[in-house]
Structures are given as structure tokens and as C-alpha cells.
Amino acid sequence: MKKRTLLGGAIALIIALFALNACGPAKRDLNLYTWSDYIDPELVKAFEEQYDCRVIIDTFDSNEAMYAKLKAGAKGYDLLVPTSYMAEVLYKEKMIRELDLAQIPNAKYIDKNYLDGKAFDKTMAYSVPYMIGTTGVAYRDDKIEDVEDSWAIFGREDLKGRMTMLNDMRETLGAALKYLGYSLNTTDETQISAAGDQIIKWKANLAKFENEQYKSGIASGEFYVVQGYSGDILQVQEESENVVYMLPKEGFAIACDDMVIPTDATDADLAYAFINFVQNPENAARNVEYVYYLCPNTGAYQLLPEEIKEDPAVFIPEDLLDKAETIRDLGPDNQKYIQVWDRVKSAN
């Protein structure tokens, strides 16, 4: 009996080992930390198939939330998609790597006009541009009339409770700064304080500050006016023809989100492969059609449908672009914004 038991156990072990080997090695994982709804799911599937891997996506709703999580010790991410000013912060704090562009041959398609003009990292030393967008105002033209292309719309008491602004310190204070005629990167305490006072006045008319529900809210008609990101609003317009996106005449924020690789990335090679994959012109164009932001990839431009190439919310006209300003990291002066934002959030 004992011999047969040992023999049976040996056979069972051999079968188990064969089954384990038949499954092959475990798939590689690419851990991506990015904004929600920010890549075509079909592209993700195509990448997984091509590289026999899994893409695991975690999301954040503000640069500050992402930064705070990383500073608190969150690890395991292979690729991040911060806005340029935050990418600069991460680089200065040695939280992301310098890039080897030889591993990203499709970086040759990145628009030189963008790099020379608006980009922070003009040589792509540590970041590759992913998508460019603006922050403006969306409204329901079936719910309100007499809309002026101005941030002043948030002062309309007749729309009380039907409007939202972003829960984002720099974006929202920046809107008030532009409305008041100041730079959204000012370090003047009097100007920043005045912007806080302006937001507090507008706050009386807002339903809330938030970064996600405004999309479904304006699509359904729960909200009539929202401050939002261009790509989000253009996606909403696919569902509702009554949603209009406008860029305020006083000026607005324009931003690029960049792909960067953390210094402690587990699989940097796979991260490089992913960056290169999404910058393939065909993939970049496909992605633009999905997210409705502009990937500054010259190879992709000619592949886009005419309706996108002619949309001023995607390809911004020069006269409006002159009024656009990029948010920059202000170092120690960020504290001035934090103090005023805390006052805004606590105000009744």
C-alpha cells in the first residue's frame, strides 16, 4: 500500500508540474496611473495582445491628489500621466527618470511647434507629451440664454445651484485670476487673495466643487453650467447636442499631460513600449477620436477626420491661443495658493 501511495503521489506531482509549465510564465504587468476615461480601451487591449501583458489602470482626479499619494509612499507604478507642471515637480524631486528616447522612436512625431512653444520639457528629457487640452466653460443652450463668453457666468444668481467648478486649486483660482485680468501664475499675494474673494462670491451660486460628476451632470441636464476640461466636454457632446463648450474671452488654462516613468518603476521597458505604442501615428489618431483631446503628434494630424481637424476646441485658433496660459509650478509660492484655497473651501 505504501509503495502505491508514494507512486501515486509522485505521478500527481509530475502532472501538477506539467500543468504549471503548460500555463507558461506569468504575464508582465504595466501599472498605469492616469486620469479617468483617458485612453481608448481597444488600444489597451491591442497593446496587451502585442506584448502579452496586462495593463492595470489606477486613476486620480487631480495632480495634487496623485502627488500626495506618491509622496505618502505609494509604489508599484510603471507609468504616470501628470500635467506638465507636475511632471516638472516630480523630475526636480527625482521621482521620475530621465528618458532614453532611443527606446521611443515614435517620439520623432511629437509636434516641434508645441515643444518649442508651450512645452516645459522642450527636449523630452523626462517626459513625452500625451494630450493637450484647455479648461473652459460648458453650458446647456436649451436651459439658459444670453450667454457671454466670460467667466462672469458663474456670477449669475438665476443659475444658482445649477453650476459647478473644478475642485482644483490652481484651475479654479486660475479662472478667477484670468477674469480679474491677472496671470494664473501670479505670485502676488494681493492678486491671489482677490481671486479667492471672487471664487467665494461665485461659490454662493455653485452646487459644488468637483472633478468627475460634472460630465454626467451636464449631459443629463442636472447642471446647466460647468467649468471643465475640453476633452471631457467634447465627449459629453457626443451624448447631448445641447452642450456647448466655450473659451472665456479673459483667458484660460491650456495644459499638456505627459507620460513619465517613475524612478522605482518595476517594468520600465514595458513602460517605454507603451509610450512608443500610443505615439504610433495611427494609434495616436485613434486615441484622439476617443478622448477628444489633441495628441501633439504630427503623424496623427493627417489621419484625423475633418470634423476634429476643424473643431476649434481641439485645434485652437491662434487668436484664442494667445489668451491661453499654462499652469506652472511656483515652488514655495504654491503655499500662497494653498492658504487662499483653504479659505475658499471653508467659506460658507
User: What CATH number did the domain enclosing 284 receive?
Assistant: 3.40.190.10
46 in any annotated domain = yes
Q: Give per-residue pLDDT as tens, 215-242.
A: 999 999 999 999 999 999 999 998 899 9
Does residue 196 sit in the same domain as residue 336? yes
Total number of domains in the chain: 2
2 in any annotated domain = no
Mean pLDDT of 169-181: 97
pLDDT of residue 285: 98
Q: If we measure between CA atoms, which residue out of 22, 82, 35, 77 comes closest to residue 55?
A: 77
pLDDT of residue 53: 98
Residue 317 to residue 329: CA distance in whole angstroms: 26
Does residue 163 sit in the same domain as residue 230? yes
Residue 67 to residue 246: CA distance in whole angstroms: 30
Does residue 171 sit in the same domain as residue 119? no
Does residue 47 sit in the same domain as residue 108? yes
pLDDT of residue 22: 46
pLDDT of residue 348: 86
Host domain of residue 77: 28-132+255-315
Does residue 119 sit in the same domain as residue 224? no
Examine the pLDDT at 5 and tell me if it is beyond 70: no
200-224 as b/e: b if 16+ CB within 10 A: bebbebbbebbbeebbebbbeeebb
pLDDT of residue 15: 47
Residue 87: pLDDT band by 50, 70, 90 thresholds? very high
Does residue 220 sit in the same domain as residue 144? yes
293 in any annotated domain = yes
Using the 8-state DSSP alphabet, how is residue 99 labeled?
P
Examine the pLDDT at 17 and tell me if it is beyond 50: no
pLDDT of residue 83: 94
Examine the pLDDT at 309 and tell me if it is beyond 60: yes
Does residue 124 sit in the same domain as residue 141? no
Mean pLDDT of 90-112: 97
Does residue 105 sit in the same domain as residue 223? no
Residue 222 to residue 143: CA distance in whole angstroms: 10
Does residue 308 sit in the same domain as residue 333? no
Does residue 82 sit in the same domain as residue 35? yes
Lowest mean pLDDT of 92-96, 97-101, 327-331, 341-345, name the range.
327-331
Q: What's the pTM?
A: 0.81
pLDDT of residue 319: 84
12 in any annotated domain = no
Residue 318: pLDDT band by 50, 70, 90 thresholds? confident
Residue 41: pLDDT band by 50, 70, 90 thresholds? very high
Does residue 164 sit in the same domain as residue 215? yes
Residue 228 φ then ψ, to 5°: -160, 175
Residue 94: pLDDT band by 50, 70, 90 thresholds? very high
180 in any annotated domain = yes
Residue 58: pLDDT band by 50, 70, 90 thresholds? very high
Does residue 160 sit in the same domain as residue 208? yes
Percent above pLDDT 70 for the chain: 93
279 in any annotated domain = yes
186 in any annotated domain = yes
Alpha helices by DSSP H, listed for the chain, are: 2-22, 41-51, 63-71, 84-92, 112-117, 169-179, 189-203, 213-220, 230-237, 268-278, 281-291, 298-301, 306-309, 318-321, 334-346
